[in-house]
Every structure is written in structure tokens, then in C-alpha cells.
């Protein structure tokens, strides 16, 4: 698509947003002069788009009231953003009226997209898993996401240009098993074939991705979302914490999700009372421990700290502070 054509379509999008757009504003947004803006307006008029000129101090251009635009025009990035947002609504909670509306809206958008783009976006949606309702997110590059999704679907190796959290950039191969949206971020999980280790990468830190020759087989029964959550729970941090908590799994998970902690229920003792809640072994890793005492208090269940000793001291100090507050008149 030629650059003048792109600018004419951009002008149409600006006018579509409503209100009167001044000549100076349009020229600035399109990076052209006023004379060129008038020429682009004439192009729209030739296409039977009713652009009105408004005279006066605050005059400019606007679309005629009641005008309905012809077929939907979305770029690759825009279409991807819209469909991912609608998919998140449908996949992260019980079915509601809004979910049904999101599904029908996605179907309508899908029908008017060019077939090439529609196929690529379908590939992304088929490769994607959600772990929780999305929040604010660091959005990945659309072309990177499309390339990675295609590699996931067709089991093709890729090479990614990745910047780690220390700011080091390198290029590495990856056998990508799945794409996961978790806590407002996008991740790809797979295996680094050079070192034979499982890896998870943030998509917004991938500057570029390219497909490599060949193919690979993914492990049977693989759950990419669970793989990412388990990776978070077992990541290397300063402290390794082991607790024993007398509570149901559901009660503990309400405070310590799978992305934070792993749970293991020991075999019950022969004389255990079946009416009492079972003890759960909880393991997690943390860079600091300050957040754990209030969380253990919120659990309101018996617990035993196996390690580290620093946590035991913090819990004791937290309990003393609460007791001193409660004694105040």
C-alpha cells in the first residue's frame, strides 16, 4: 500500500473518531502541509465519503452526521489487539452475556479480515492459554507473536533475539510449546535445544523471531499454562520457604496461587481424624519475606515453619506488634 493511500486512510480514521478536526491538527497528525490535507479530503470525496468543511475560527473538517463507514479496516496490530482482548473476555471466567457478545463480535471481525491475516490470527488464538483474568499488560510485538504462534502450531524451531532482565541481549534457538497470558504479561514456554533445558521467555522482551528449518515433537500431555506457573513457583530466589499448613487446598490456593507456591499433601496418619482439615506441605521461593507474616495471619489456620529461621523471627515480631496494637486503649 502506497504512503499517500495510507495517509488518506489515516485521515478517514481521524475523522471517524468524531468532532471537528482543524487543518493544523490534521496536517500535524499526517505529517504533511495544509495543501496536501485538502488534496486527501478531495480523495475521500471522490470515494463518496461525505467530508464537510466547517468554516470559522474553530473550523476544519468532519464527517457528515449519520454517515456509516463501509467495511471494517484494521491493520495487523489493531486486529490482533481486538481479537486478543475479546478472547481474554471469553476464556477467563464463567460464561456471561458479555462473553457471548465478545464471541459474536470476534466472529464478525474474523469474517471481514483478509484471509491471510485471519489465518495468522487464528493460529495465535489456538496457541494461546490464559491463567487468570488479564490486567494491565506489557504488549508483545505483533509480528513476534504471530511468528511464535505459527511455530507453536506447526512445531517448527525458531530463533529469538531476547533481552534478559539484566539487560543482556542474545540470540538463541527455541522449540516453542505454547503461549501463555499470565498476570498481564505474555510468555512463550519451550525447550532450548542447544542445552536441552526447559525455558520460559517474556514475549515483550523478544525483539525479533525467525523460523528455522526442521521440526520437533512436543512432549505428550503438555500443559503450557501449568508449565509456566510451575516455573514461577520454582524460580531461583534468595529464600527457600517450607511450611506445613492445616487447611484445604482450596483455602491455601486462595492466598498462595500455583504461580507462587507448590503444594503436597502428606499421607494421613493412621490415627488421623477424618473430620479435621489435612496438613499440606507448602514450598515457595521469595526474594524477601516481609509479605509472608501478614499472609499467614490471613490464612487463619495452624501452621509450622520448617525453614528458614528468618521467617520464624518475622512472624513472631509481627504477632508481637499485633498484640501491642490490640492492648492500646
> CB-based burial of residue 253 (10 Å sphere; 0-12 exposed, 13-18 middle, 19+ buried)?
middle
Q: Rg of the chain's alpha carbons, rounded to an integer?
A: 27
State the fold for domain 3-63: Arc Repressor Mutant, subunit A (1.10.10)
For residue 299, whether the previous peptide bond is cis, meaning omega lies within 30 degrees of 0, is no
Region 76-83 average pLDDT = 68
3-state DSSP assignment of residue 156: coil
Domains 3-63 and 234-327 share a fold: no
Helix, strand, coil proportions of the chain in percent (round to 5)?
40, 25, 35
Cell 507448590 sits on residue: 262
pLDDT band at 316 (very low <50, low <70, confident <90, very high): very high
Q: Alpha-carbon distance 107 to 92, whole Å?
A: 18
Q: Alpha-carbon distance 178 to 163, whole Å?
A: 20
Q: Alpha-carbon distance 9 to 47, whole Å?
A: 11
Q: What percent of the chain has pLDDT over 90?
A: 19
Q: Alpha-carbon distance 11 to 14, whole Å?
A: 5
What is the CATH architecture of 234-327? Answer: 2-Layer Sandwich (3.30)
Region 187-197 average pLDDT = 87
The pTM score is 0.48
pLDDT band at 94 (very low <50, low <70, confident <90, very high): very low
Helices H / strands E in the chain, number of each: 11, 12
Q: Supply 99's cell numbers.
A: 462473553
3-state DSSP assignment of residue 114: coil
Closest CA to 16 of 56, 58, 44: 44
Q: Supply 1's cell numbers.
A: 500500500
More confident residue, 80 or 327: 327
Contact at 8 Å (CB) between 263 and 252? yes
| Candidate from 60-69, 75-84, 233-242, 289-298 with smallest mean pLDDT | 75-84
Contacts by residues 160-166 (CB-CB < 8 Å, ≥ 24 positions apart): 160/201, 160/206, 160/208, 160/209, 161/206, 161/207, 161/208, 161/209, 162/201, 162/205, 162/206, 162/207, 163/205, 163/207, 164/205
Is pLDDT above 80 for 120? Answer: no
Q: What integer pLDDT is reported at residue 60 of this predicted model?
A: 86
More confident residue, 319 or 102: 319
Region 284-311 average pLDDT = 90
Is pLDDT above 80 for 280? Answer: yes
Instruction: Name the residue ranges covered by the structural domains of the chain.
Output: 3-63, 76-231, 234-327
3-state DSSP assignment of residue 175: strand
Q: What integer pLDDT is reported at residue 317 of this predicted model?
A: 92
Region 49-63 average pLDDT = 83
Q: Supply 166's cell numbers.
A: 539484566
Region 153-160 average pLDDT = 91
Q: Alpha-carbon distance 74 to 109, whole Å?
A: 9
Amino acid at each position: 500500500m502506497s504512503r499517500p493511500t495510507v495517509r488518506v486512510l489515516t485521515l478517514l480514521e481521524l475523522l471517524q473518531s468524531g468532532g471537528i478536526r482543524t487543518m493544523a491538527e490534521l496536517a500535524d497528525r499526517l505529517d504533511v502541509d495544509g495543501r496536501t490535507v485538502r488534496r486527501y479530503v478531495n480523495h475521500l470525496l471522490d470515494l463518496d465519503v461525505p467530508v464537510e468543511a466547517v468554516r470559522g475560527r474553530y473550523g476544519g473538517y468532519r464527517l457528515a452526521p449519520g454517515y456509516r463507514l463501509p467495511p471494517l479496516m484494521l491493520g495487523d496490530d489493531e486486529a490482533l489487539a481486538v481479537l486478543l482482548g475479546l478472547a481474554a473476555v471469553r476464556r477467563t471466567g464463567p460464561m456471561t452475556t458479555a462473553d457471548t457478545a465478545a464471541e459474536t463480535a470476534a466472529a464478525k471481525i474474523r469474517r471481514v479480515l483478509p484471509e491471510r491475516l485471519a489465518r495468522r490470527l487464528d493460529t495465535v488464538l489456538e496457541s494461546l492459554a490464559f491463567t487468570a483474568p488479564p490486567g494491565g499488560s506489557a504488549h508483545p510485538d505483533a509480528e513476534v507473536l504471530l511468528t511464535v504462534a505459527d511455530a507453536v502450531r506447526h512445531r517448527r524451531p525458531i530463533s529469538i533475539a531476547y533481552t534478559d532482565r539484566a539487560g543482556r541481549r542474545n540470540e538463541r534457538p527455541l522449540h516453542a510449546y505454547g503461549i501463555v497470558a499470565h498476570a498481564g504479561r505474555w510468555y512463550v514456554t519451550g525447550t532450548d535445544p542447544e542445552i536441552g533445558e526447559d525455558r520460559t521467555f517474556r514475549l515483550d522482551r523478544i525483539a525479533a523471531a525467525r523460523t528455522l528449518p526442521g521440526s520437533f515433537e512436543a512432549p505428550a500431555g503438555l500443559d503450557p499454562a501449568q508449565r509456566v506457573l510451575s516455573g514461577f513457583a520454582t524460580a531461583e530466589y534468595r529464600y527457600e520457604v517450607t511450611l506445613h499448613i492445616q487447611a484445604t487446598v482450596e483455602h491455601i490456593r486462595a492466598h498462595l496461587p500455583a504461580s507462587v507456591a507448590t503444594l503436597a499433601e502428606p499421607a494421613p496418619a493412621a490415627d488421623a481424624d477424618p473430620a479435621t482439615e489435612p496438613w499440606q506441605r507448602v514450598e515457595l521461593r521469595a526474594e524477601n519475606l516481609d509479605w509472608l507474616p501478614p499472609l499467614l495471619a490471613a490464612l487463619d489456620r495452624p501452621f509450622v515453619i520448617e525453614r528458614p529461621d528468618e521467617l520464624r523471627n518475622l512472624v513472631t515480631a509481627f504477632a508481637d506488634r499485633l498484640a501491642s496494637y490490640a492492648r492500646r486503649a
